[in-house]
Structure 1
Amino acid sequence: MSKKYSKFLPSTDDFNLENFPFYWITQVHSQYVQNVDSVLKKYGVDNSRRRILIALASKPDASVSDLSEMVVSKMSTTTKIVYRLKDEGLVETYSCEDDARITRVLLTAKGKEMTDKINDLTSVVLEQSFDGLTPLQIEKMIDSLRQIFNNLAR
């Protein structure tokens, strides 16, 4: 391993967890989920449902497989969440015309309303999380995370 990265890696003798980037990625994500869950609790929506609803708002008529990839979840887990959302009247499902094995999902009017509420409530959490950062810093962070993701996905 190259010495230029050694201070960031747990394999060194003088390793400090606070210098490990993935420690911070998981800490930030975990804290974000906790904050979002506490805000959404009063609406009976958890982070898993929120992620599916937000994904559907950005990609209407997505397949369950598409949603699974978008929210980084196992297909079986995504399917269970979709059918819970369907039971709650927030989404509808239908078989794809071209391939009946593919189940497509779309937001209902109630689901769109809930997504709007979720976005309003979570915008407070997002604003709190970006306090003290400039838009340029946020863009650079996103670019860096995208690059790390692409490196790992190779």
Structure 2
Amino acid sequence: MTKKYNKFFSAAADFNLDHSPYYWVTQVHAQYVQNVDHALKKYGLDNSRRRILLALKAKPQASVSELSEMVISKMSTTTKIIYRLKDEGLVNTYSCEDDARITRVVLTDKGQQMAQKINDLSHIVLDQSFDGLTPLQIEKMLESLKLIFRNLAH
């Protein structure tokens, strides 16, 4: 471990939680989820279902395993959420024509409408969260987060 990163590690003698990037990443994420969850309560949704619906909006007809990867969730958890969404009439599932072992998921019309409502609410929270930042600052933050993710992914 190089000394140039010492102040960011909890083992450092002079460690301060304010210097921990992962502390702030988790704090920001938790606050974002809390704000979005609060806004979604009127639609009877939670963050888990929101993430699946928006993933399907981004990748229509995704397989359960693709959705699981997109939302970083275990297959069993993703499957439970999908069947809950299916019971609520927001998604449908079907077996893939090429490989019947693969289950594909699609948004229903009701699911499309809900995804749009989620996007509208999410934009309000995002506007609030990015107040005081320039688009360039947001782009730089995204570049940094992507680089950290790639570093951790190998």
Q: TM-score, normalised by structure 1?
A: 0.99
Amino acid at match of 1:34: Q
CA distance in 1: counterparts of 2:135 and 2:92, whole angstroms: 37
Structure 1 segments unaligned to the other structure (5+ residues): none
- Shift, 1:134, TM fit: 0.4
**1:138 counterpart residue number:** 138
1:31, CA displacement in angstroms? Answer: 0.3
**1:10 positional shift:** 0.8
Q: What are the within-5 Å matches in structure 2 for residues 77-96 of structure 1?
A: 77-96=77-96
**TM-superposition CA deviations, 1:1-52 (whole Å, max 9, x none):** 1011011111111111110100000000000000000000000011000000
TM-score, normalised relative to structure 2:
0.99
Q: Give the structure 1 partner of residue 149 of structure 2.
A: 149
The letter for the 1-side match of 2:23 is Y
Determine the C-alpha separation between the residues in 2 that align with 1:102 and 1:6: 46
d(CA) in 2 for partners of 1:146, 1:10:
23
Aligned length: 154
Letter in 2 for 1:54: L
What SS does structure 1 have at the residue aligned with 2:133? coil
Identity of aligned residues (%): 74
CA RMSD of aligned residues (A): 0.5
Where do residues 66-105 of structure 1 align in structure 2 (5 Å cutoff)? 66-105=66-105
Residue 126 of structure 1 pairs with residue 123 of structure 2: no
Give 1:98 deviation, angstroms: 1.1
Please show how residues 1-154 of structure 1 align to structure 2 within 5 Å.
1-154=1-154
Pairwise CA distance, 1:119: 0.6
- Alignment partners' CA distance in 2, 1:69 and 1:110: 24
